[in-house]
């Protein structure tokens, strides 16, 4: 490990794992010799290391709270990072030395300090909470929440309610019709809404109900047992939901919701660049992949552009993974940082002597729970399985998967939460695209990429045991992931192509792939250039000097706007990846000889278009009966106007000489002569 990685403290956790090989390679980066009980009998070693200041990586996450408390008590200035090497590497019963993986995990932890942090937004919750639910369960939850929140209770059922002698909040009846917004800004619409009568003796009595009642609040606790009124309820900050019969779930909600008062920071997961968006042009819809992929309903369409509700967005990243242009760009982490992490993990593993790496991409909470269970009650992870924890596995697109294989991975396993199966189709499409790229380049894609959605550690263990793909490349290749999404993706694919002897220039891809070319039926094309104006990626170009359309294949995102805009319907899409050098240069796909003005000789329009117009109008339209009138069709705009003026100077107005304007003086003069206004207007 290089000196730039900072200092490292490692502990064999009461001699439950072997760290000798890792310690040998860490060399001078160790802040102290390998510890045995760093969190207990050797805590002084940590105190000494943290007192020195500077970056310090502690290879333990279980006792991170203790280490942070000690550091705070000592007022230490060290920049602390914690990494799990025990459950992810050291605790394993598989044959092989975990040292290489431990070094890879340490390198990954150290490298994350240079990552670009996501922008955050502040969200303020004033504690106004709507508790909506059924019967006594909802009432009890509202009473428990009243200690910390300002509660309003709306009941959708009340047969079993026993009203208390002191009621600290208002009670209403109602049916939740619509709910929009997120933490700090929910808008609620209720039907059958009525206030409870204070004279209620047995079950609650209410005033006359009404529909369409509206209100706002910061939090919503839904204990109705009905279907959620919002998309992706598990991702909506400030919305808490449990079945009335789920006692444990209700208690958890009361505990969590009661703390949601104050100002909170939420990452802005995606950034949007409207300039390169291929969603719409002139009322024609092109690409809607991000809208189709978003499970939370955080994306919308307005004025031809995509809108992003950052309050609703849960950061799954599907929109960014599937966006063909990079207009939706994931920021948690940013794409270059994610590619760098992949290369750092696998590169450090191989540099340390590791063999046949399998990259395991998982979400922090769900994946770490399964890895922990395997380590404590099973055989643990195999030494060659290198875990990469991220916020959402669905943010990994084909660019990340190709990068992993370039870096030296034999296979990639993506571990998903089965609760989020509705989010997986975009990821499955990215996997299919990657497999098509690998197959097209002459590599075996079988078993290279596995998508495992499970809560069962044994399922994960089985999937990893069955992953035995051969080496893809003779030697790993690292590249610098700079630029936008397409820049990085094309760079990775082109690099893989160069490293694949005998690979063809053209790789056929599945439908809806973000790479390809267009085919134009030149017999029907009129060179109207509607396609050029519609193209959001600059893949279609015109020529100001002659009727011509050129095409840059590397820029085409297969959005289909040119196809839907073309009035002649002569454009079709052809998904493929062209690795030839010529793919980045304009190629003329259709051109014609220009029509020359019969009066001044200036080129204008295309000859075929002028001839087509002549055939449709000459002698068939009342304005083009004579030879002189037909000749106007063959003139440029300037000459056409001049010819019409020369033939009839009144043609522009169509009414002869312009009438003399009437002034106030004219009306006053008529009045002095005893003329009425009507008589004056008749005479003038």
Q: What percent of the chain shows pLDDT beyond 90?
A: 78
| pLDDT at res. 257 | 97
| pLDDT at res. 1 | 38
| pLDDT at res. 143 | 97
| Surface-to-core class of residue 615, CB atoms within 10 Å of its CB (0-12 exposed, 13-18 middle, 19+ buried) | exposed
Residue 680 pLDDT greater than 90, yes or no: no
How far apart CA 618 and CA 610 sit, in angstroms, is 11
| Segment among 61-75, 342-356, 449-463, 614-628 with least mean pLDDT | 614-628
For the stretch 57-86, pLDDT in tens is 999 999 999 999 999 998 876 789 999 999
Structural Rg of the chain based on CA atoms: 35
39 or 623, greater pLDDT? 39
Query: Mean pLDDT over all residues of the chain?
Result: 92
Q: Assess contact for 301 and 308: CB atoms under 8 A.
A: no
Residue 359 pLDDT greater than 50, yes or no: yes
| Segment among 255-259, 620-624, 635-639, 648-652 with least mean pLDDT | 648-652
Q: Which residues contact residue 96 at a Cβ distance below 8 angstroms, ignoring those fewer than 6 apart?
A: 382, 383, 384
Q: What percent of the chain shows pLDDT beyond 70?
A: 96
DSSP annotation string for 611-667: HHHHHHHTTTSTTS-SHHHHHGGGS-HHHHHHHHHHH-TTTTTSSSSPPPPP-HHHH
| pLDDT at res. 653 | 54
CA angle 570, 576, 582 (to 5 degrees): 90
Q: Assess contact for 490 and 325: CB atoms under 8 A.
A: no
| pLDDT at res. 615 | 87
Place of tokens 């499955």: 428
What mean pLDDT comes out for the span 152-159? Answer: 95
Which helix (H) or strand (E) segment holds residue 328: the answer is: strand 328-330
What mean pLDDT comes out for the span 369-375? Answer: 97
What mean pLDDT comes out for the span 592-599? Answer: 86
For the stretch 382-414, pLDDT in tens is 999 999 999 999 999 999 999 999 999 999 999
| pLDDT at res. 651 | 56
Residue 620 pLDDT greater than 80, yes or no: yes
| pLDDT at res. 3 | 35
Three-state DSSP class for residue 247: helix
What mean pLDDT comes out for the span 147-169? Answer: 94
How far apart CA 258 and CA 148 sit, in angstroms, is 6
Three-state DSSP class for residue 329: strand
What mean pLDDT comes out for the span 135-163? Answer: 95
| Segment among 41-50, 110-119, 437-446 with least mean pLDDT | 110-119
Residue 658 pLDDT greater than 70, yes or no: no
| pLDDT at res. 2 | 43
E-assigned strand segments in 409-502: 411-416, 449-453
Q: Kindly list the distances between the CA atom of residue 573 and the CA atoms of 46, 199, 434, 489, in Å, as whole numbers in the listed order.
A: 62, 71, 20, 20
Three-state DSSP class for residue 595: strand
């Amino acid at each position: 490990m290089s000196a730039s990685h900072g200092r490292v403290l490692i502990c064999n956790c009461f001699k439950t794992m072997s760290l000798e090989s890792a310690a040998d390679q860490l060399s001078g980066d160790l802040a102290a010799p390998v510890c045995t009980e760093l969190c207990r009998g050797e805590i002084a070693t940590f105190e000494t290391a943290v007192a020195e200041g500077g970056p310090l990586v502690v290879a333990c996450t279980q006792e991170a709270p203790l280490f942070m408390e000690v550091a705070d008590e000592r007022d230490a200035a060290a920049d602390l990072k914690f990494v799990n090497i025990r459950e992810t590497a050291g605790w394993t019963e598989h044959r092989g030395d975990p040292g290489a993986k431990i070094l890879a995990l340490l390198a990954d932890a150290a490298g994350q300090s240079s990552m670009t942090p996501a922008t955050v937004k502040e969200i303020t919750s004033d504690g106004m909470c709507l508790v909506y639910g059924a019967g006594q369960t909802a009432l009890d939850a509202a009473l428990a929440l009243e200690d910390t929140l300002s509660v309003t209770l709306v009941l959708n059922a009340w047969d079993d309610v026993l009203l208390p002698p002191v009621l600290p909040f208002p009670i209403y009846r109602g049916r939740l019709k619509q709910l929009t917004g997120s933490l700090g800004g929910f808008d609620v619409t209720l039907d059958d809404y009525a206030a409870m009568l204070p004279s209620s003796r047995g079950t609650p009595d209410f005033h006359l109900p009404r529909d369409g009642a509206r209100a706002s609040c910061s939090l919503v606790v839904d204990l109705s047992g009905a279907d959620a009124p919002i998309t992706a309820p598990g991702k909506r900050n400030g919305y808490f939901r449990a079945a009335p019969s789920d006692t444990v779930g209700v208690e958890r909600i009361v505990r969590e919701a009661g703390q949601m008062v104050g100002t909170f920071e939420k990452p802005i997961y995606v950034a949007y660049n409207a300039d390169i968006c291929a969603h719409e042009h002139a009322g024609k819809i092109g690409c809607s992949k991000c809208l189709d992929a978003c499970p939370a309903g955080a994306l919308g369409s307005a004025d031809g552009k995509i809108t992003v509700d950052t309050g609703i967005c849960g950061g799954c990243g599907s929109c960014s993974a599937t966006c063909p242009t990079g207009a939706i760009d994931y920021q948690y982490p940013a794409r270059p940082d994610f590619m760098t992490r992949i290369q750092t993990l696998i590169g450090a593993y191989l540099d340390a002597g590791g063999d046949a790496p399998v990259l395991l991409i998982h979400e922090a909470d769900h994946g770490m729970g399964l890895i922990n269970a395997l380590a404590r009650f099973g055989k643990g992870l195999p030494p060659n399985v290198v875990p990469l924890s991220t916020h959402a596995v669905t943010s990994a697109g084909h660019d990340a998967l190709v990068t992993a294989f370039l870096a030296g991975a034999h296979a990639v396993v993506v571990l998903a939460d089965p609760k989020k199966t509705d989010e997986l189709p975009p990821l499955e499409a990215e996997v299919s695209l990657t497999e098509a790229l690998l197959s097209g380049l002459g590599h075996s894609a079988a078993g290279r990429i596995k998508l495992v959605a499970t809560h069962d550690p044994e399922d994960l263990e089985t999937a990893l045991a069955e992953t035995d793909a051969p080496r893809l490349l003779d030697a790993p290749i690292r590249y610098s992931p700079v630029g936008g999404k397409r820049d990085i993706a094309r760079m990775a694919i082109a690099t893989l192509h160069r490293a694949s002897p005998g690979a063809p220039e053209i790789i056929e891809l599945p439908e809806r792939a973000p790479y390809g070319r267009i085919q134009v039926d030149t017999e029907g094309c009129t060179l109207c250039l509607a396609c050029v104006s519609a193209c959001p990626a600059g893949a279609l170009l015109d020529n100001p000097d002659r009727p011509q359309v050129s095409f840059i294949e590397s820029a085409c995102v297969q959005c289909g706007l040119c196809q839907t805009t073309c009035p002649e319907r002569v454009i079709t899409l052809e998904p493929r990846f062209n690795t030839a050098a010529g793919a980045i240069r304009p190629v003329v796909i259709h051109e014609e000889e220009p029509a020359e003005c019969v009066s001044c000789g200036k080129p204008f329009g295309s000859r075929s278009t002028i001839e087509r117009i002549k055939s449709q109008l000459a002698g068939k339209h009342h304005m083009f009966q004579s030879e002189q009138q037909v000749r106007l069709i063959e003139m440029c705009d300037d000459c056409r106007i001049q010819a019409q003026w020369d033939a009839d100077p009144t043609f522009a107005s169509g009414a002869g000489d312009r009438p003399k304007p009437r002034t106030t003086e004219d009306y006053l003069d008529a009045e002095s002569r005893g003329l009425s206004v009507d008589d004056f207007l008749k005479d003038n």
